Structure 1
Amino acid sequence: MQQTYIITGATSGLGLTLVKQLLHDGHKVIALVRNIEKMHSLNLEQQDNQLQIVPCDMLDSDSIKAVASHLNHMTLDGLIYCSGVGYFKGIDAHSTEEMLETYQVNVVHFNLLFQTLQPFLKNNASIVGIGSQAGFATQAYAAHYGASKIAFYQLMNALRLEYPNYHVMTVNTGPIRTPFHQKADPSGRYQEQFHKLMIEPEILTQEIIIGMHLRKNEINRPRWMRLLLKLYNLAPRFIEKIAGPLFKNKGSKTEI
């Protein structure tokens, strides 16, 4: 049976692979995008009867609220929130704009989008949010990114408790092979150092779709990383002391 999903971050990375897979599976997709021309350039128009492109800048609250005007009397089977931003630099190196952008996109504007879409969500709709393992460990040179992701994790858990009629699933991942890292770390050092550990978005897409079918509450990938972080949280200061470099791999004090 055809279902209707609304997806953010749909022009690249995990969001794009989810759009392609859901279209392939015969579902209708509403892609919220800031750059409409880029979305058109991806040559998905052969599925126009399934794909609707809606302009939406996740940094602009008015743009988010305006999404409702494009939905008419639609009913949504799910929201998949793939938008995310982060800057791998020191606390003193973040600009005001970068700090605000991080929390707006990763936390605040997800909440606003949910409020905007709630009248259109079916009673048993899936709410899927892409989080990060970075929220479970203190990391130098990624403080605001990690803080925003643990805030997002708590927000998703609260949503699950407040709205038991929805299926709420949080996907906490390690590094994914997407363009995210080009903005987070323009030097390319992090991507070069950890490219072998990066998760392929196509593999994660399949796990997310299976997770929606099985109504899972949480997906953590890679599993070994989540296990290590659980151990870390048992004695964080001790582990930071004996394995300090592991918590400083996203930058250095020389970064501006």
Structure 2
Amino acid sequence: MTIKNIIISGASRGIGFELAKQLCAENHQVIALSRNITPLQALALPNLHPICFDLQDQDAYKGLVAYLTEKQLSVDVLINNAGKIINKPFEDLGLQDWQEVYATNVFGVAELTKSVLPFMNKEGHVVTVSSMGGVQGSMKFPGLAAYSSSKGAVITLTELLAEEYKETGPAFNVLALGAVQTEMLNEAFPGYKAPVSAAEMASYIKHFAMTGQQFYNGKLLQVANTTP
């Protein structure tokens, strides 16, 4: 197996944390971005490189570019995993709520991708984690106007980037996930039990991130074991 350099955002818990562990177990070099890197540091893995990173901080992107430049690293895979969810009736959503959700789920994805692109080649793969709630025609749930609409935005963004970079690469794909048992889900829907664990979903995303670019570009894949 070829050892790859992989960047994961939102890596301190849930799917991102499981992804980091699983990829490191396969000896890949993982740059794990999160506002809280303590759980990542506690793993003490030699091929895991935690970086304190806030998607809403412009200096964080500059710092990542400087890090990649200094280490002379090429990036094979970028996984845009970080997400923000607010479960609140539409009439109660304030401008700050919308800004917080979109800052992470849309603007953060765009800025992180833009920052990493110069370090990727034609064979690289950018995978963005979206949600079934962002898929046109899927079942929608009250309280998720900001979250689901932001997840719809990154689906369209992925399609646009695949077209814009189709001659030079890398490949861009987006995964619309169904419910996964994570801390973020529990915070938004206390007591709800999802049919898929974070580790199980991480295993799927890991495999797709490493091989999906051979078969897909600009594609939305729905990853859910239920049919809304």
Q: Is the pair's TM-score, using the shorter chain for normalization, greater than 0.5? A: yes
Q: Which aligned pairs between 1:69-80 and structure 2 lie closer than 5 A?
A: 69-71=66-68, 72=70, 73-80=72-79
Counterpart for residue 133 of structure 1: 132
Counterpart for residue 204 of structure 2: 207
Counterpart for residue 9 of structure 2: 8
Q: Is the 8 Å Cα contact of residues 11 and 39 (structure 1) preserved in structure 2?
A: yes
Q: Is the 8 Å Cα contact of residues 3 and 27 (structure 2) preserved in structure 1?
A: yes
SS at match of 1:99: helix
Counterpart for residue 150 of structure 2: 148
Counterpart for residue 48 of structure 2: 51
Q: Is the 8 Å Cα contact of residues 82 and 130 (structure 1) preserved in structure 2?
A: yes
Residue by residue, what CA displacement relative to the aligned partner does 1:143-183 show, whole Å, maximum 9, x if unpaired? 11111010011111111111122122211111111111243
Q: Is the 8 Å Cα contact of residues 179 and 224 (structure 2) preserved in structure 1?
A: no
| TM superposition shift of 1:129 | 0.6
Q: Is the 8 Å Cα contact of residues 107 and 148 (structure 1) preserved in structure 2?
A: yes
SS at match of 1:76: coil
Q: Which aligned pairs between 1:166-177 and structure 2 lie closer than 5 A?
A: 166-177=170-181
| TM superposition shift of 1:96 | 2.8
Provide the TM-score with structure 2 as the length reference: 0.87
| TM superposition shift of 1:139 | 3.1
For structure 1, the residue ranges without an aligned partner over 5 or more in a row are 229-256
Counterpart for residue 93 of structure 2: 94
Paired with 2:197 and 2:117, the residues of 1 have a C-alpha distance of 31
Paired with 2:203 and 2:182, the residues of 1 have a C-alpha distance of 16
SS at match of 1:181: helix
SS at match of 1:123: coil
For structure 2, the residue ranges without an aligned partner over 5 or more in a row are none
Q: Is the 8 Å Cα contact of residues 87 and 183 (structure 1) preserved in structure 2?
A: no
SS at match of 2:202: helix
Greater CA radius of gyration, 1 or 2?
A: 1
Provide the TM-score with structure 1 as the length reference: 0.78
SS at match of 1:26: coil
Q: Is the 8 Å Cα contact of residues 177 and 201 (structure 1) preserved in structure 2?
A: yes
Counterpart for residue 220 of structure 1: 222
Between stretches 61-70 and 10-19, larger displacement belongs to 61-70
Counterpart for residue 235 of structure 1: none
SS at match of 2:208: helix
Counterpart for residue 28 of structure 1: 29
| TM superposition shift of 1:37 | 2.6
Counterpart for residue 83 of structure 2: 84
Paired with 1:99 and 1:19, the residues of 2 have a C-alpha distance of 29
Paired with 2:204 and 2:65, the residues of 1 have a C-alpha distance of 29
SS at match of 2:196: coil
Q: Which amino acid aligns with 1:144?
A: A
Residue by residue, what CA displacement relative to the aligned partner does 1:44-99 show, whole Å, maximum 9, x if unpaired? 21x22x11111210122332332111112210001001101111111122233221
Paired with 2:143 and 2:124, the residues of 1 have a C-alpha distance of 37
The number of aligned residues is: 215
Paired with 2:65 and 2:95, the residues of 1 have a C-alpha distance of 30
SS at match of 1:211: helix
Paired with 2:96 and 2:114, the residues of 1 have a C-alpha distance of 24
| TM superposition shift of 1:103 | 0.5
| TM superposition shift of 1:116 | 1.0
Q: Is the 8 Å Cα contact of residues 11 and 33 (structure 2) preserved in structure 1?
A: yes
Paired with 1:36 and 1:204, the residues of 2 have a C-alpha distance of 21
Residue by residue, what CA displacement relative to the aligned partner does 1:15-56 show, whole Å, maximum 9, x if unpaired? 01110111011100001111133332xx321x22x1111121
Between stretches 108-117 and 215-224, larger displacement belongs to 215-224
Residue by residue, what CA displacement relative to the aligned partner does 1:186-222 show, whole Å, maximum 9, x if unpaired? xx1xx43xx1x43212222222233231434443121
